[in-house]
Chain A
């Protein structure tokens, strides 16, 4: 069966420090991958999505970037964190041939920037 992992589960970082959040999917190939941010009162905001290795689409211009070095690995990065980067980050995947809308979410990473 397919599973999705995210780490770390929680992270506290100072302003200006770099960031690397990792997401991996098991049990499937060629998934579409997504990064969302969940902030209080703002719902779920799509940050990046990827349809293949090295293919990244950005939905919202900001301080973050994403990379997909391997088929089932999706990384969210920042060179210098801002206070506004605090939030709950969710990774999700969808089968390439799956029903639209049926995305499967990871456990999330809670990021606090101080």
Chain B
């Protein structure tokens, strides 16, 4: 079955500390994975996708097929990074996304 697991509901770090939001997936084919972010009072928006191998706002995510993971990392967290983060897997023929339950990141000053 196709599934996305984000084990942490809440992650709290101090400003300047490294942060890693965990995401594991279950998928029988070649996965396409994404991170979406929802800042307070803003719309849910795409942060990055693994096929682009990009760094957005200092965040990176590497697809590890052996561990079936797509963890989101940033070496130095900023207060403005506080938001809800969702990991998503493209699992449908119509561009459907399967979302994890989300991790709320809180960066303290």
Task: Enumerate chain A interface residues (CB-CB to B < 8 A).
Answer: 32, 34, 36, 41-46, 49, 51, 57, 59, 90, 92, 94, 98-108
Q: Is B43's CB under 8 angstroms from A108's CB?
A: yes
- Distance from B4 Cβ to chain A, minimum over Cβ atoms (Å): 8
- Distance from B10 Cβ to chain A, minimum over Cβ atoms (Å): 11
B94 CB–A CB distance under 8 Å: yes
Contacts of B90 in A (CB 8 A): 100-101
Contacts of B101 in A (CB 8 A): 41-43
Instruction: List, sorted by A's number, 24 A–B pairs whose CB atoms are closer than 8 Å.
Output: A32-B95, A34-B96, A36-B99, A41-B101, A43-B100, A43-B101, A44-B86, A44-B97, A46-B97, A59-B96, A90-B44, A92-B44, A98-B95, A100-B32, A100-B90, A101-B34, A101-B49, A101-B88, A101-B90, A102-B46, A103-B46, A103-B97, A105-B43, A107-B43
A11 to B104 alpha-carbon distance, docked (Å): 25
Interface of chain A, helix or strand or loop or mixed?
strand
Q: How many A-B pairs with Cβ below 8 Å?
A: 56
Residue in A34, A41, A45, A101 whose CB lies within 8 Å of B9: A41
B68 CB–A CB distance under 8 Å: no
- Distance from B97 Cβ to chain A, minimum over Cβ atoms (Å): 6
Question: Given A36-B99, A43-B99, A49-B94, 15 more contacts at CB 8 Å?
Answer: A32-B94, A43-B86, A43-B100, A44-B44, A44-B86, A44-B99, A44-B102, A46-B97, A49-B96, A59-B96, A100-B90, A104-B45, A105-B44, A105-B45, A106-B43
Contacts of A92 in B (CB 8 A): 44
Contacts of A41 in B (CB 8 A): 9, 101
Contacts of B94 in A (CB 8 A): 32, 49, 51, 57
Residue in B45, B95, B102 whose CB lies within 8 Å of A43: B102
